[in-house]
Amino acid sequence: MEDYEKIFENNRAWVKSKLAADEHFFEKLAREQNPEYLYIGCSDSRVPANVIMGLDEGEVFVHRNIANLVVSTDSNINAVIQYAVEHLEVKHIIVCGHYGCGGVKAALHPTDMGQLNSWLQTLRDVYRLNQKELDLIKDPHKKFDRLVELNVIEQCVNIIKIDHVQRRWYKTGFPKIHAWVYDLHNGLLKELDVNLGAYFQGFRSIYDLKFTDE
């Protein structure tokens, strides 16, 4: 049997195990989804959202792309965030980067990567915005790790800039935005030590769209 065909066997075994635990599992799940979390992470195959968070089917709405970027002209992520915030009414939006991220590494070592150039440009912008801090770090591994973290923080700020997010936040106090990093070497998630509200305060006058009439 080809590896590819094995997937269907795996699928049937998974269905069987779910039904053994709860014979109405799929009926219930098919009715609706009501996740509290939107997770935005890297496409890296070693960082599967549900698995690392220990969450079940239906508990997290997921968007993944190379290096977990939130790009304002990306209609894919804009649609995901709008749907999550307005329709699913998620309480938390998590941006989860990971140490050892190939996308972030590529941004640290500029080479012509064809189609990927424009995508990685956003990461190079994060580098430029934080160049003073990053260039003081002499250990290349530490510098790499720090750019992973700074990228997560910058993508959180990009979420705060979005009108749907601000509108809902003014109305309900949600969603809360979280900056996380996953460590491939030990499997642990950590919340970055950053006060995003205070950080955003510094440039609030530029990005705050103020929905005072609603």
Q: How big is the site for Co ion, counted in residues (CB under 5 A)?
A: 3
Residues 6 or more apart whose CB falls under 8 angstroms from that of 146 comprise: 133, 134, 137
Scanning the structure block, which residue is given the tokens 């809360």? 176
Q: Which of residues 146-165 bind Co ion (CB under 5 A)?
A: none
CA distances (Å), origin 2, targets 7, 9, 16: 9, 11, 22
Amino acid letter at 29? L
Tell me how far, at minimum, the Cβ of 104 lies from Co ion, in Å.
Answer: 7
Selected binder of Co ion within 42, 52, 70, 106 (CB under 5 A): 42
Q: CA torsion 80→84→85→88, rounded to 10°?
A: 150
Distance, CA of 183 to CA of 186 (rounded, Å): 6
Question: Closest approach of Cβ 129 to Co ion, in Å?
Answer: 19
- Residue with smaller CB distance to Co ion, 90 or 101: 101
- 109-137 in b/e burial notation, b at 16+ Cβ within 10 A? eeeeeeeeeebbebbeebbeebeeebeee
State the catalytic residues.
Answer: 42, 44, 46, 98, 101
Site residues for Co ion, 70-109, by CB under 5 A, read: 101
Closer by beta carbon to Co ion, 9 or else 125: 125
Closest CA to 104 of 65, 157, 132, 72: 65
Considering beta carbons, is residue 13 or 184 the nearer one to Co ion? Answer: 184
Nearer to Co ion, 42 or 84 (CB): 42
Contact status: 44 vs Co ion (CB under 5 A): yes
Question: In angstroms, what is the minimal distance from the CB of 143 to Co ion?
Answer: 16
CB of 53 to Co ion, least distance (A): 17
Q: Does 145 bind Co ion (CB under 5 A)?
A: no
Chain residues binding Co ion by CB under 5 A are 42, 44, 101
